[in-house]
Amino acid sequence: MAKEDSLRKLRREMEKVQDSRRFEHTLGVEFTAASLAMRYGASIKSARTAGLLHDCAKCLTDEERISICRKNGIPISEMEWKNPFLLHAKAGAFLAKKQYGIEDEDILNAICSHTTGRPGMSLLEMIVFVADYIEPGRNKASNLEEIRRLAFTELDQALLKILGDTLEYLESGSGDVDPMTRKTWEYYMEVGSLRHSPDARASAAPGSLPAGIKCRRCGGMRGNMEQNSMEMAKLAVKALEDKKAEDIRIIDISQVTVIADYFLIAGGNNRNQIQALCDNVEETLGRAGFFCRQKEGYDTANWILMDFGDVIVHIFDKENRLLYDLERIWRDGRQMNMEEFRREQA
């Protein structure tokens, strides 16, 4: 990951290769991505690095972008042949690695997906995608005020709104629609409708959020949200118990933060068990239509974090559970042991 002085160096590099308008946009994306990273607990340095580099191939010619892709085996879609400027995302990720020394796959993915998004984006990818659209220098897109507000309250809703508005704009005859933009929009509509309301998708149209998709964080549909998060928590607890997790704790944080409704904390004895706990939670919730939006720490298995939106599952080894002591950090939440949780469900 880039250190502070590396960020300064990258900024100088971008100033050299970009015209002044583009460079100003780049600084805006760096700043906005950093702000969103602070808001959502992502790595600020990764967000700044991806923000700085996201358009590093924007000032190349179409021929140069095509040539980078062809020489390096990067596939070019029919749409990209027709609109080679779209390749600045893929070519940019390539340059970020080869020319600017970025190894972090998450940063490279964020650069690569910043124009169209993609199904199953990581938190960093979503942050860079949204930051690119809302940075302070942008002033042409419709609904910017609403999207800027949403970006800091409900990031996935902001993402969905941007995708919907983009599709609506392109489909009105202003340009070609990249199939990946549509695919991403469909994916997040599906995830949103599963999260928020079974009937939400039926009334959905590009550019307008369906009635059921609004959540309590931006007002409305509280009933479905509560049911979903309780259902998710129950399933996750069952999945953890089935694989003999140690000391399962549930913290109801719905009254103290907008991050989620429940934190589930559990322990495992070794890497194999911790990964098995994680796999079982993911599989069990996935079968019920609740998808893991982000998973961190699986390989090392000291602390695996699984983000299901309204439920966040933490699986620790003994050492890290004591070290991070989430129960203490979240002591303002309502802490339940398994007996209390079962009483709650009865």
CB of 35 to Fe ion, least distance (A): 16
Instruction: Tell me how far apart the alpha carbons of residues 315 and 6 are, in angstroms, rounded to a whole number.
Output: 33
Which stretches does DSSP call E strand in the chain? 246-252, 262-267, 294-296, 303-307, 311-316, 334-336
Shortest Å, Cβ 44 to Fe ion: 19
Residue with smaller CB distance to Fe ion, 161 or 216? 161
80 binds Fe ion (CB under 5 A): no
C-beta closer to Fe ion: residue 95 or 274: 95
CB of 93 to Fe ion, least distance (A): 11
**Amino acid letter for position 17:** V
Minimum CB separation of residue 58 from Fe ion in Å reads 6
Least distance (Å) from Fe ion to the CB of residue 18?
10
Return the structure tokens found at 45.
């340095």
Number of residues that bind Fe ion (CB under 5 A): 2
SS3 of 259-312: CCCEEEEEECCCHHHHHHHHHHHHHHHHHCCCCCCEEECCCCCCEEEEECCCEE
Region 117-136 residues binding Fe ion, contact defined as CB under 5 A: 132
Using the minimum distance from each CB to Fe ion, give the nearer residue, 55 or 106.
55
Regarding 55 and contact with Fe ion (CB under 5 A), the answer is yes
Q: Which of 54-62, 64-72, 158-166, 310-318 is the region at the interface with Fe ion (rule: CB under 5 A)?
A: 54-62
Judged by beta carbon, residue 79 or residue 326, the one nearer Fe ion is 79
Q: Distance between CA 142 and CA 207 in Å, rounded?
A: 10
Q: How far is the CB of 25 from Fe ion (least distance, A)?
A: 6
117 near 184, Cβ under 8 Å? yes
In angstroms, the CA 97 to CA 202 distance is 42
- Options 47-55, 64-72, 208-216, 313-321: segment touching Fe ion (CB under 5 A): 47-55
Q: Which of residues 285-344 bind Fe ion (CB under 5 A)?
A: none
Q: Rounded to whole angstroms, how far apart are CA atoms 68 and 324?
A: 45
How far from chain centre, in Å, is Cα 230? 22
Least distance to Fe ion from the beta carbon of 184, Å? 15
Contact window for Fe ion (CB under 5 A) among 34-42, 52-60, 69-77, 282-290 = 52-60
Measured CA to CA in angstroms, residue 294 lies from 46, 134, 189, 242 at distances of 16, 23, 17, 22
Minimum CB distance to Fe ion smaller for 137 or for 220: 137
| Residues 232-291 within binding reach of Fe ion (CB under 5 A) | none
Binding site for Fe ion (CB under 5 A): 55, 132
